[in-house]
């Protein structure tokens, strides 16, 4: 049984994100098409550490909990409970290369990678891994496989899709976020007509190739620019400079461009001196590709 393990924890973007309505359990029903990116942090586990707990490092470590409220620790404890293992001596080290609270799924990705590593170490059954992911959050189920997928329900019902051919992506990460971000986004959408799921259904039959900004749909864009201070101005500046559309990543506030990989350097440079951090990356076929 390995004592030390390492895995990659990639970011994701939503190519389509439709909100269908409010569920009786308080969650919202969504229908979304997700795709993982090359941009990834790492998760390091030590199963018998003299210093157990969570350590967070990397350029986007600020604001990420380094305690037992971290999603990676929560899923580890959940899987341990379901499989009869212990986490008292477990050390989890997260290298945060994915911006936190940016709509890129960084925390959920850390959690899913933690589960996959512990599955290997503990020989845990797949149903326990999936149940542990669903007990903690919604995007975790998608990140267990990565690549491209359609997620429905609150995000827990995942159908794999054929990934895109390699596309360039540039992330534009503004400083800061807002308190209770996702809850406030859903609350604001409640005053608007909900989506039908028809766009996700069409994409599930085959992702358009090549993918361009005009093909992206995110329901949160109807209200995000009212909730995030300065985001509307940044969006306008980016589209003026790029002469191409940019879109909200998940629940934001990160914006992104997608297109030809050869255009990535030019698109990233277009954000020079704007109030954001530009991160060039690309679509990736699988979480466990490396």
What pLDDT digit, counting tens, does each position of 217-253 carry? 999 999 999 999 999 999 999 999 999 999 999 999 9
What pLDDT is stored for residue 270 in this prediction?
95
Can you tell me which residue has the tokens 């297109």? Answer: 259
Q: What's the rounded mean pLDDT across residues 138-150? A: 94
Q: What's the rounded mean pLDDT across residues 163-173? A: 97
Report whether pLDDT(17) > 70. yes
- From the candidates 31, 95, 110, 139, give the one annotated as an active-site residue: 139
Distance in angstroms (rounded) separating the CA atoms of residues 174 and 242: 17
Q: For the purposes of burial, counting CB atoms within 10 Å of the CB of 251, is it exposed (0-12), middle (13-18) or buried (19 or more)?
A: buried
Count the neighbouring beta carbons within 10 Å of the beta carbon of residue 180. 8
What pLDDT is stored for residue 287 in this prediction?
56
> Residue 1 CA to chain centroid, in angstroms?
30
Q: For the purposes of burial, counting CB atoms within 10 Å of the CB of 209, is it exposed (0-12), middle (13-18) or buried (19 or more)?
A: exposed
Q: How confident is the model at residue 113 (pLDDT cuts 50, 70, 90)?
A: very high
- From the candidates 12, 31, 95, 195, give the one annotated as an active-site residue: 12
Tell me the pTM. Answer: 0.94
As separate numbers, helices (DSSP H) first and strands (DSSP E) second, the chain gives 9, 11
CATH topology of domain 4-161: Ribosomal Protein S5; domain 2 (3.30.230)
Count CA atoms within 13 Å of residue 149 on its CB side. Answer: 22
Strand locations in 27-147 (E): 28-46, 53-57, 91-95
- CATH 3.30.70.890 residue spans of the chain: 168-282
Q: What's the rounded mean pLDDT across residues 162-186? A: 93
Report whether pLDDT(290) > 50. no
Q: Is 96 a catalytic residue?
A: no
Q: How confident is the model at residue 2 (pLDDT cuts 50, 70, 90)?
A: low
Q: Is the backbone of residue 61 left (phi > 0), alpha (psi -120 to 50) or beta?
A: alpha
Question: By C-alpha distance, which of 81, 53, 58 is closest to 69?
Answer: 53
CATH topology of domain 168-282: Alpha-Beta Plaits (3.30.70)
Reported for 50-55, long-range contacts at CB under 8 A and 24+ positions apart, including other chains, are 51/91, 52/87, 52/88, 52/89, 52/90, 52/91, 53/91, 53/92, 54/92, 54/93, 54/94, 55/91, 55/92, 55/93, 55/94
Q: Is 38 a catalytic residue?
A: no
Q: For the purposes of burial, counting CB atoms within 10 Å of the CB of 103, is it exposed (0-12), middle (13-18) or buried (19 or more)?
A: buried
DSSP three-state, residue 185: helix
Distance in angstroms (rounded) separating the CA atoms of residues 131 and 264: 38
- CATH 3.30.230.10 residue spans of the chain: 4-161
DSSP three-state, residue 20: strand
């Amino acid at each position: 049984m390995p004592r030390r393990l390492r895995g990659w924890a990639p970011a994701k973007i939503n190519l389509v994100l439709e909100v269908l309505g409010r569920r009786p359990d308080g969650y919202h029903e969504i229908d979304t098409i997700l795709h993982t990116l090359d941009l990834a942090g790492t998760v390091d586990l030590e199963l018998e550490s003299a210093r157990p707990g969570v350590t967070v490092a990397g350029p986007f470590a600020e604001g990420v909990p380094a305690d037992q409220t971290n999603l990676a620790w929560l899923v580890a404890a959940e899987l341990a409970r379901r499989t009869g293992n212990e986490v008292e001596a477990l050390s989890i080290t997260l290298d945060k290369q994915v911006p936190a609270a940016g709509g890129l799924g960084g925390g959920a990705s850390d959690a899913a990678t933690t589960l996959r590593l512990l599955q290997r170490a503990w020989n845990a059954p797949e149903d326990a891994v999936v149940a542990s992911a669903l007990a903690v959050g919604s995007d975790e189920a998608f990140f267990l496989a990565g690549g491209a997928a359609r997620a429905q329900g609150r995000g827990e019902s995942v159908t794999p899709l054929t990934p895109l051919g390699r596309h360039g992506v540039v992330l534009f990460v503004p400083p800061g976020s807002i308190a209770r971000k996702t809850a406030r986004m859903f609350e604001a959408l409640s005053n608007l007509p909900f989506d039908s799921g028809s766009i996700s259904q069409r994409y599930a039959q085959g992702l358009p190739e090549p993918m361009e900004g005009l093909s992206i749909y995110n329901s949160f864009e109807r209200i995000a620019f009212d909730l995030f201070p300065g985001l509307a101005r940044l969006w306008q500046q980016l589209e003026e400079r790029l002469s191409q559309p940019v879109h909200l990543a998940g629940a934001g506030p990160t914006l992104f461009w997608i297109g030809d990989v050869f255009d990535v350097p030019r698109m990233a440079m277009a954000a020079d001196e704007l109030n954001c951090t530009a991160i060039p990356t690309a679509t990736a076929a699988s979480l466990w590709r490396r």
